[in-house]
A and B are shown apart, each in its own frame.
Chain A
Amino acid sequence: LSLAAPPKEPVLMCRSNNYPKGFYCSWHLPTPTYIPNSFNISVIHGTREMVCEKNVFPKNRCHIRYLQLFSTVKYKVTLTVTNALGKNSTTFTFDEFAIVKPDPPESVVAKPVPNNPRRLEVSWQNPSSWPDPESFPLKFFLRYRPLILDQWQHVELSDGTSHTITDAFAGKEYIIQVAAKDNDIGTWSDWSVAVHATPWTEEPKHLTTEAQITETTSASTSSFMPPPTTKICDKGAVVGSGAVAVCWTAGLVLAAYGVLFI
């Protein structure tokens, strides 16, 4: 049997994922009261009281349209929760620019590049909730790592919705995610849904020496960290015999490391 309780101070957050259209606020109670609660939300901008339209779904959320852009005056949102045993409230005051946080990028796709064992081609789309990427462009943050390693590689991109990874370990399955942010204001979105991809490899009977060596080294402890020699291969982004020779050298060095650690 649970005892009915007056509401504790509610948790309130506001966010603009559709800048410059408007923002939404959502709330919840930190602990249940076990009796019905009613929520009242007020939004004050300077001297004006604005109406936050309650969503049908999800519940405990309301949305509001900006009447003006680039405002100097803060928005003050007050949420009051009431039930038969009492009431409680919380307030959140913020600048228009501070709550901008897009939704994560959509339709993230990662594909191997034929005849390129170190490359992965990643593409994505602007989140559909972002209404005007032309006037309010987004920049992106890409992170990727092979499944066998814990350390992420990061790339920040100020333009475009695609990127080619050129330093992937041959034959290794990668996990890739992308995040978005307005070019100038606000905070980064959550990470997108993760996608997996493995770079192109030749047919098994023509397996390169490097691939065989990395197969051996992957059997060692998970704390194996890639030596900085991988940077040599970065410079060899142009696929040519010279670059391949350097990569083979790096592969042999990897083998030496691997043997040391086993």
Chain B
Amino acid sequence: GDSWGIFTFLCAALCNLPALPALNCTEELGTSQSIQKTYDLTRYLEHQLRTLAGTYLNYLGPPFNEPDFNPPRLARAERVPSATVDLDLWRGLTDNARLAANYRAYSLLLCYLRALDGQAATAELRHRLGHFCSSLQGLVLSIAGVMSSLGYPLPAGPSAPPGTLVAPNDFLKKMEDFWLLKELQTWLWRSAKDFNRLKKKVPPAVVTLRLEARGF
């Protein structure tokens, strides 16, 4: 009851990410390097998440920490845009759409994780969540950097999450946490593939041409 009200307020407060200035001077570094860096970050985060999720799920206790736990998805508005997508649709995404989807998802995920951090009951959880949130923020900024250097506008920052359900009980709140971590894990797996694709499509030569064209 009360905690959900605080949660919604926290999210609204924490989710106003500052608008990033256009990164003009760093464009010479090469967009392909930024994409590689973003890819590396998703791999690093995916690895970090394994430890974080293990700790958090143990904190939630059974059945959430059981390996075969496979609950049905409750019919409700999803908090985070799902990584799940039709294969042909995913293949056909423009670079802009692909990057924007990643940016939106991680912005929201960061927001929710920060809220979790605020509620974390143990020092160990706070420490792990805090560290993870820093790294995740790095990823969001990295994606923003890539979009900027390619001349794509950043999607609007996330407002307070729409239709936040007030969890009627402790168990359902834990379910929400479980699904949040699952979404995060799936997005990190997907992003590795997204940035692999982007790597191939943006070789350094293309960036040089783009810079010259813009100069005149």
Residue A69 lies at the interface, judged by CB distance under 8 Å to chain B: yes
Summarize B's interface: helix, strand, loop or mixed: helix
In the bound assembly, the distance between CA atoms of A183 and B82 in angstroms comes to: 23
Number of A-B contacts (CB under 8 A): 61
Interface of A is mostly: loop
A67 to chain B, nearest CB (A): 8
Contacts A70-B85, A72-B183 given: A97-B189 contact, CB under 8 Å?
yes
Query: Given contacts A74-B70, A183-B192, is CB(A69)–CB(B87) below 8 Å?
Result: yes
What is the chain A residue whose CB lies nearest that of B75? A47
The answer, yes or no, to whether A31 is at the interface (CB within 8 Å) is: no
B85 touching A137 by the CB < 8 A rule? no
Q: Is the CB of A70 within 8 A of B196?
A: no
Q: How many residues of B contact A (CB 8 A)?
A: 27
Complex CA–CA separation, A258 to B73 (angstroms): 68
Query: Cβ of B200 and Cβ of A185 under 8 Å apart?
Result: no
Also in contact, A135 and B196, with CB within 8 A (given A47-B72, A72-B179): yes
State in angstroms the CA–CA spacing of A225 and B43 once bound together.
38
Contacts of B186 in A (CB 8 A): 70-72
Which residue among A66, A73, A184 has the maximum number of chain B CB atoms within 10 Å of its CB? A184
CB pair B192–A184 under 8 Å, yes or no, is yes
* Interface pairs (29), CB distance under 8 Å: A20-B87, A47-B72, A66-B87, A67-B86, A68-B85, A69-B84, A69-B85, A69-B87, A70-B186, A70-B187, A70-B189, A71-B84, A71-B186, A72-B73, A72-B83, A72-B84, A72-B185, A73-B73, A93-B70, A97-B189, A134-B200, A136-B193, A136-B196, A137-B196, A183-B192, A183-B196, A184-B46, A184-B189, A184-B196
- Which A residues are closer than 8 A to B by beta carbons? 20, 46-47, 66-74, 76, 93, 97, 134-137, 183-185
